[in-house]
Amino acid sequence: MDLSTLVYGLNLAAIYGLMAIGISILWSSVGMINMAHGATFAVSGYAAWLASTAMKPVIAAAFGKTLLASLATAGVVVGVALIAGALMGALIYLLAFLPIHDKPNFAVRSLIVTLAINIATVQALLFFFGPRSRGLPKIFGFGRLEIFGVSIRYDQAGTILCTAVLLLVVLEWLRHSRKGLEICAMMQNPEGAALSGVSVRFTALPIMMVTGALAGMAAALLSQTIFVSPTAGAIPLIKGLTIALLGGLGSVPGAVLGALLIGFLEAFTGVIPFLGQRYVMFIQFAFIITVLVIRPRGLGGLLDDTRE
Amino acid sequence: MPETARTETHELLEIRRLTAGYGPLRVLHEVDLTVKAGERIGLVGLNGHGKSTLFRAITHLVGWQQGSIRLDGREIGGTRSLGAGRRTSGIVRLGVAMAPQGDAIFPGLTVRQHLDCGAYPRTAWRERRTRRERILEIFPPLRALQDSLVGKLSGGERRMVSLGRMLMVEAELYLIDEPSLGLAPKISRAVMDAVWSLPTEGRAMIIAEQNVSLLSGRVDRIIGMHAGRMRGEVGHVALS
Amino acid sequence: MVDVTQTKQSAPKKLYKVGRHHHDYRLRPNGTQEWSRARLPFTRRHWLKWRGINNPRTLTRERVLVDKKPLWWTLSLGALLIVTPFLPNAMINVAAIFCMYAAINVLWTLIIGTAGIFSLATLAVVGMAGYAAAAANVYLGVPWPLMFAIGPVVGLLIGGILALPSTRLDGLYYALLTMGVAEICRIFVTQLRPLAPTNGSINKVGSFIPEDWFLQREGLLLGFAGAFVLLLGALLVFRLVNSERLGLLLRAAKTGREDEAFSEACGIDFRRARMQVFLISSAALGVCGAFYAMYYRSISPSVFSLDQLLLLFAMMVIGGLGRSEGAVLGAAIVILIDKGFVELGPLRIMLVALIMGGVTIFAHEGLTGARQQFRNFRNRKKSERRAVRTEKGGEVMPEEATEIADKQEIYYRRFNKRLRDELKTYITPELIEEHRQAPLGRHSDTLERVLNYFRRGEVPDKYAILRVDGSMDRFRILAFSGERGAPPRVVDDKEYQTLSEAYHAVFLLRVNDLLES
């Protein structure tokens, strides 16, 4: 059990955390469970792949094989993934939020509609791109660093760094901007927010675009280790959902903590000899179930106010 | 001698035959109310008889079954009893400001953030510092508490935050629900003084209160509500 | 001279349809004969819900069937039963699959709708029960009729395990838990070597379909017959639980925390009732599992797959969550698409997903609830329009008129409204000045009419003049409360020096009230 498993766990935690935070924020502010997050993930991955294949000759012509070329590729991949994620979030807003947000039973119905969108998108991707998985260019290149005597792969370091930066940006935006203030208000007291003129309809769109962008980033980062395929979004969705529930819906610190726990759990389970990769899901589910039975509202609980 | 003809005052709020309630339960029955600009109206009645529900029906936090509400001649929403709460922000932006019972505060935000939240129009947001100053002058105890989390404040301070947030915008209709509820007499007097100091030019205010003595002499009309119906004006016979 | 009988020239009135009751077909039995109603044997229940209604217009007795659902059920299921034997082999297979899935869905509806437990472990229960029954038959040599006994026992067991955390968790958390359990079951079954040597499936299971009939037409027909009986059994279980004691107990605690608290305060132990419903459905799902193993004569881990579960969920959603007819209708639609459009390939599933999304967006309760939703919408629009048209104290709207028992009331209101409209045109500054000059005494004709109307007002809120302290030059205006023992209220605190001033002030107040009404 060496520290490289720790790093691996951190890597996974970062990616799952991106998904989980998106789901958590969306639920506590808008009251909607987004089952189509997996679709957003897959679509962003494919968009990044398309963009990188299209731009490869252009970049090669402009920069050759230098560091700038790889930076440009990285920029294209990440940028397109973010944009595609945001656009997909906007699409889900149009289909699953606007028509039913003021009708009864909104939570259950939005869950079903997003589920339908998820299935439809996956089937559409299967139809257009086929079931073969595609590879994305390596953003961070190959190679390893040495920090405190631990050997970390470039892409692991890059993932952890990027996630941390993106999360900090999002959290600062939430805290200091006008829209962020409105979103926090909506998360803590929907009635008070409505009475302060915060319109759910107009605030939900930026939230969904931002959470979509988070999923897009997760896709760009995860595809360094796993290829892009239509069903690639299913497992991150389930992991993100379970981590969001584990951390307590609506609690961002809880989601982060849950992501870290699950990430490390997955890393260590893979290493233990007689268990291996096959039992990963099993162990994770068992852990989450145990925690939820002990603390039915998840880890976040009293950290900040959650919407029930 | 009382005035002969009716002066042309502007009808701000007109409620007709409003029947509203929670789900299948009807709390308000055929309520009629007309409020003109410049009026201060007191709404009295015992707990559970519909005062808060009337306010919540106007801001559409509670669904209606029947009736119509006109704000400035404009019909605000129909009898869609679904999705109550989703219309509220639209109605608020039309010029209705409400300080509800229970204050509707955000426990994790500071006092300053609360006041900023209340300044939703663009002009108010740009002038928010000056407006915040004005509110702090109306409610002096808040000045020291600007950076504290509202979730940790006392009842009176929360009430001030809720009213202050409501006042960050120039609204046409102010709905204040039980401003003195749960407050010590000294603090409730301070809160009520702040309420009476608001200008009424071109605006209207409806204050729901159980304590009629706090309202007497300050409001133009006192309307009673009993079992969800308007019971006309309440007064005392002073046969001395 | 003013002619009050002169009718106003108004635009041709728009006629609105009145009444809110949909058309009912009514039978006209012979009113002189006794009416016999057949009962279900050994019970006091009737077969159909007939009601006798007295028609006030024709004064005859009529009979109406209040609940038409038994008719629809009999027609549709009867049609299925009659048509299927004439279909080609593949279609018989489809019909049998439809019956099986519909049965599973009906029982799942019992869990989600009646008990309100959002469980995703249905297929896990079915699968585990099927595996247990198949294993007993293949490895322990248990004869196939006993598989129908093992299935429910195993189902009950697994249901019991699942039911334990349901009190601690609810909603989405519980759904997550059940998903986890399903995953655990799948791994358990694939990992257990002695159970399933050939990649997880058990083959050559004994069945009610004889070996040589299997995959032949006779076998398929027998299989379909068995599946049909299974569906009937599931519907019977649904009916017995949902419409009897357990279902009624749970109806109060269905939505949200407030209703649960309310029902608990009434003394309903809804948690225990929920548990019982869950266990009963799990046992019934166990029977389905055993049947599944027997129909295919084998069982494989594909029964635990998430895609299968989502398909079943889509069936329920499309039909309408919470209703048994929704479960069956949804199953019919989805299976038709799934097997009917095989050429489309993966697009089939997309179509199902799109329909599911579309139904959820537009229909509140799925397809079976569409009719009720439309009726509600229409009623709401009508009452909205009615509220806009109504003036305060105006004429009674036709829709309300049908509900007022004493029709004189309607005419009285109409008369008063016309009278007030007429009087409003009489109020002029000259009239007011005329009254100010001489409150008592001879008045012009129009003033007399106005004063007559005022004098005829009802006592509650009628104005009166109070002589303060018995003095000769201090008067105040009061309004009567109209209630016995309740004192009159003071209108304002103005004092008047002479009686004529007071009379004129009362006149002005009444004029104001007239103009405002």
Residues C441-457 pLDDT 10s: 889 999 999 999 999 88
Asked whether the predicted pLDDT for residue B54 surpasses 70, the reply is yes
The residues, any chain, with a CB within 8 Å of residue A131's CB and separated by 6 or more, are A229, A230
Choose among A102, A189, A194: nearest Cβ to B106.
A189
Asked whether the predicted pLDDT for residue C89 surpasses 60, the reply is yes
pLDDT in tens, C324-371: 999 999 999 999 888 877 777 777 888 888 899 888 888 878 888 888
pLDDT at residue number C209: 74
Q: Closest chain C residue to B16 measured between Cα atoms?
A: C392
CA angle at residue C283 from C280 to C285, to 5 degrees?
Answer: 110
The predicted model gives C461-490 an average pLDDT of 84
The tokens for C187 are 């791994």
Decide if A188 contacts A175 (C-beta within 8 A). Answer: no
pLDDT at residue number C280: 94
pLDDT at residue number B129: 86
* Partner A contacted by C361 (CB < 8 A): yes
pLDDT at residue number C417: 85
Tell if the CB–CB gap between C429 and B232 is shorter than 8 Å: no
Q: What is the dihedral of CA A231, A236, A242, A245, to 10 degrees?
A: -120
- The H or E element spanning position C470 is none
pLDDT at residue number C332: 93
pLDDT at residue number B83: 42
Q: Which of residues 27-56 of A touch C (CB under 8 A)?
A: 33
pLDDT at residue number A307: 38
pLDDT at residue number B4: 35
Tell if the CB–CB gap between C173 and A95 is shorter than 8 Å: no
Asked whether the predicted pLDDT for residue C423 surpasses 60, the reply is yes
Q: What is the dihedral of CA C168, C172, C175, C180, to 10 degrees?
A: -90
Domain coverage including residue A285: 3-307
Choose among A103, A201, A305: nearest Cβ to B108.
A305
The residues, any chain, with a CB within 8 Å of residue C43's CB and separated by 6 or more, are none
Q: Closest chain B residue to C493 measured between Cα atoms?
A: B238
Decide if A243 contacts A284 (C-beta within 8 A). Answer: no
Share the mean pLDDT of chain C. Answer: 83
Inter-chain contacts counted by CB atoms under 8 A, chains A and B: 86
**Between A274 and A111, whose confidence is greater?**
A111
Asked whether the predicted pLDDT for residue C126 surpasses 50, the reply is yes
| Antiparallel, parallel or unpaired: β B221-226 and B40-44 | parallel
Q: Which of residues 453-482 of C touch B (CB under 8 A)?
A: 461, 469, 478
pLDDT in tens, A39-81: 999 899 888 888 888 877 777 777 666 677 777 777 888 888 8
* Partner C contacted by A282 (CB < 8 A): yes
pLDDT at residue number C471: 81
Tell if the CB–CB gap between A200 and B86 is shorter than 8 Å: yes
Backbone φ and ψ for C267, nearest 5 degrees, come out as: 95, 15
Q: How many domains would you assign to chain A?
A: 1
User: Which residues is C262 bridged to in the sheet?
Assistant: none
pLDDT at residue number A275: 64
Tell if the CB–CB gap between A194 and B113 is shorter than 8 Å: no
pLDDT in tens, A15-47: 888 889 888 888 888 888 888 888 999 899 888
Choose among A119, A127, A242: nearest Cβ to C176.
A242
How far is residue B52's CA from residue B24's CA, in Å, rounded to a whole number? 18
pLDDT in tens, B118-163: 888 878 788 888 888 888 888 888 888 888 888 888 888 888 888 8
Asked whether the predicted pLDDT for residue B235 surpasses 50, the reply is no
* Partner C contacted by A147 (CB < 8 A): no
The pTM of the full predicted model, rounded to 2 decimals, is 0.76
How far is residue B202's CA from residue A214's CA, in Å, rounded to a whole number? 48
Q: What is the dihedral of CA A258, A260, A262, A268, to 10 degrees?
A: -160
pLDDT at residue number A103: 73
Instruction: Measure in Å the smallest separation between the Cα of C339 and chain A Cα atoms.
Output: 17
Tell if the CB–CB gap between C387 and B4 is shorter than 8 Å: no
Tell if the CB–CB gap between C364 and A123 is shorter than 8 Å: no
Instruction: Return the residue in A29, A30, A105, A196 with the most chain B beta carbons within 10 A, the one to mutate for interface testing.
Output: A196
The whole-angstrom distance between residue C296's C-alpha and the CA centroid of its chain comes to 39
Q: Residue C161: name the closest of C121, C214, C127 by CA.
A: C121
pLDDT at residue number B79: 45
Choose among B17, B80, B240: nearest Cβ to C387.
B17
| Antiparallel, parallel or unpaired: β B173-177 and B204-209 | parallel
Chain B contact set for A189 (CB, 8 A) = 104-107
Asked whether the predicted pLDDT for residue C508 surpasses 80, the reply is yes
Choose among B82, B104, B116: nearest Cβ to A189.
B104
The predicted model gives C205-216 an average pLDDT of 75
pLDDT at residue number C281: 94
Binned at pLDDT 50, 70 and 90, residue C91 comes out as: confident
pLDDT in tens, A211-239: 999 998 888 888 777 778 888 788 888 88
pLDDT at residue number C397: 64
Chain B contact set for A102 (CB, 8 A) = 82-83, 86-87
* Partner C contacted by A113 (CB < 8 A): yes
CA angle at residue C148 from C145 to C152, to 5 degrees?
Answer: 160
Reduce the DSSP state of residue C371 to 3 states and report it.
helix
Tell if the CB–CB gap between C357 and A104 is shorter than 8 Å: no
Tell if the CB–CB gap between A296 and C168 is shorter than 8 Å: yes
Binned at pLDDT 50, 70 and 90, residue C233 comes out as: very high
The tokens for C415 are 């008369």
pLDDT at residue number C395: 64
Asked whether the predicted pLDDT for residue C1 surpasses 50, the reply is no
How far is residue A239's CA from residue C180's CA, in Å, rounded to a whole number? 11
The residues, any chain, with a CB within 8 Å of residue C103's CB and separated by 6 or more, are C227, C230, C231, C233, C234, C288
**Between C253 and A85, whose confidence is greater?**
A85
Q: Which of A98-102, C303-307, C416-420 holds the top average pLDDT?
A: C416-420
Percent of chain B with pLDDT over 70: 87
Asked whether the predicted pLDDT for residue B2 surpasses 70, the reply is no
Chain A contact set for C314 (CB, 8 A) = 116
pLDDT in tens, A260-296: 888 888 888 777 766 666 677 777 877 887 887 777 7
Binned at pLDDT 50, 70 and 90, residue C388 comes out as: low
Binned at pLDDT 50, 70 and 90, residue C198 comes out as: low
